[in-house]
Homo-oligomer: A and B are copies of this chain.
Amino acid sequence: MKKLINAPEDVVAESMAGFAAAHADLVRVVPEPLYVVRRDAPVAGKVGLVSGGGSGHEPLHAGYVGFGMLDAAVPGAVFTSPTPDRILAATQAVDGGAGVLHIVKNYTGDVLNFETAADLAAANGIEVRSVVTDDDVAVKDSLYTAGRRGTGGTVLVERIAGAAAERGDDLAQVAAIAEGVNADARSMGVALTPCIVPHSGEPSFTLAEDEMEFGIGIHGEPGRETLPLEPADRVVDRLLDAILPDLPYERGDRVLLMANGMGGTPLSELYIVYRRAAERLAEEGIEVARSLVGDQITALEMQGCALTLLRLDDERIELWDAPVQTASLRWGR
């Protein structure tokens, strides 16, 4: 295991300490119980957005805390859900009197712990709504989840719902926008290499030098099948063959196309992937109206990529384009 870390048990706390030091203009990091909160939280009268989950997917979620996106992120241990007390503390910290939306990726531990935290928050007089993201078309039920997994679509939910909260939408409206984005987003990924959880020190799975894992999960959990490694264009076509018919996306649709890196893949390769995806969508008569290329939701140092499509309408485009000021997404302000 080759990593730039100290003791494996200190990885999350030290990484968050560095994050706090680097982005003191945007966030505060509360060390105990650990969560990251927007610097000016709570914002009076604004719906608060809280997400979280196991660490190892950076920049998700801490990198998306700030103006126009999340109010707080709760990082668990690597690939391990945060406990309800921490989610509750973050929920209380961002409650500006307009209620709080929990954005939860569909993994069993996250769903349970966020539910418990929501119940505790309600008992403390905070109105909480939850949206569970499940955009990954690869598998239904898996090692970590019942139903589909939440992956790249989560980033888009956080951004678009975050913009809606920022413009003053109420909790029901923000929740409806989040649900809508999740319903119209689909993702699928592929891995060329496994990742190594610091505590275990062992690769999450094995792949031969000429193999890829198609439909990979963000914890290195199995995908649909192990296939021979192919040229990038063929890999992209396989991903879109799975994604496009699932909603389905249709001729005339406008979409946001996200080419996401899994953590260990160079940006130059993501643009090669993006190129073919955009070309294929043009062939299908689907218009790429917005795009995002880079590492957004990762699996430690895994090499690989995932594509996410989100169907857009005028309102979603307006919300996407609205100012955002976080460590990992920022524009227009």
- A interface vs B, CB < 8 Å? 2-7, 11-12, 14-19, 21-22, 55-56, 58-59, 63, 192-193, 209, 212, 229, 231-233, 235, 259, 263-276, 278, 288, 291, 293, 295, 298, 300-301, 303-305, 325, 330-333
Contact = CB atoms under 8 A, between A and B. Distances in A.
Nearest to A300: B266
21 contacts: A2-B192, A2-B229, A4-B272, A4-B304, A14-B275, A15-B271, A15-B272, A15-B275, A18-B274, A18-B275, A55-B268, A263-B267, A264-B264, A264-B265, A264-B301, A264-B303, A265-B301, A266-B300, A266-B301, A267-B298, A325-B331
A259 to B, nearest CB: 8
Given A11-B268, A63-B267, A263-B266, A4 B305 contact: yes
A4 B192 contact: yes
A274 to B, nearest CB: 4
Contacts of A331: 325, 330-331
Contacts of A212: 2
A188 to B, nearest CB: 14
Contacts of A7: 231
A275 B276 CA distance: 38
A273 B17 CA distance: 10
A266 B6 contact: no
